[in-house]
Amino acid sequence: MSRQHIYLLGVSIVLLVFVIAFSFLVLIPQGKDYREKRGELKLESKELNKYQDFYEETEITLKELQQKHRRVIVAFEAKFNPDRFKKQYKTYFSSLEISEIKKMDDNDGFATYEVNTTSQISSPKSFYNFLDAINKGDWIISVNFPINFVRDAELIKSSFTMQILSSVKDSNATKKEAQ
């Protein structure tokens, strides 16, 4: 055998020993860690998919509810304006007077106002039409009992109090907080 073949055989044996030692010392232990981490990753991926599905279902439900109740959401964000209220609802009354707007309290980001109202109507039907209209209106309004009706010649005088819920927060700030 020539010297070259002996050197080549020696280098090959050293490389073979190095590859076998590298395999047993580095690759096989890392392979075990890899399999364990791959199993953990699969479990976490399943959990992530479960939460992602829940998120998507909840988001779809949220969008449907926002679309279905858009008028109510906008009404909660609207600020009460007595002049606009008079203009919007004076068609239901012969005369409409709003007095004593007082802020009652702030609860969970909403201000509650109490408004005393006196009006003159030609028939109770126009008052019921008014109630239907405020249910579809721009504000969240609760008409409180008692509602007093007094006959005065051809007209009926009515007096009642209303509570108006109005958002205290700025609507842009609310939208930024939601994001």
Q: Is residue 74 part of a domain?
A: no
pLDDT, tens digit (0-9, with 9 covering 90-100), for 27-69: 788 878 888 899 999 999 999 999 999 999 999 999 999 899 8
CATH of residue 145's domain is 3.30.70.60
Enumerate residues 6+ apart whose C-beta is below 8 A from 130.
89, 92, 93
Instruction: Please give the Cα distance from 48 to 44 (Å, whole number).
Output: 6
Same domain membership, residue 91 and residue 158? yes
Q: Into how many domains does the chain fold?
A: 2
Q: Is 7 helix (H, G, I), strand (E, B) or coil?
A: helix
DSSP H/E element including 15: helix 3-22
Residue 149 belongs to a domain: yes
- The full length of the chain comes to 179
pTM, 2 dp: 0.50
3-class SS at 13?
Answer: helix
The tokens 């039409």 sit on which residue?
A: 129
Residues 42 and 87 in one domain: no
Q: What angle do CA 110, 111, 116 make, to 5 degrees?
A: 140
> Domain range for residue 108?
79-174
**C-alpha–C-alpha distance, residues 54 and 48, integer Å:** 10
Below-50 pLDDT ranges, the chain: 171, 173-174
Domain check: are 156 and 90 in the same one?
yes
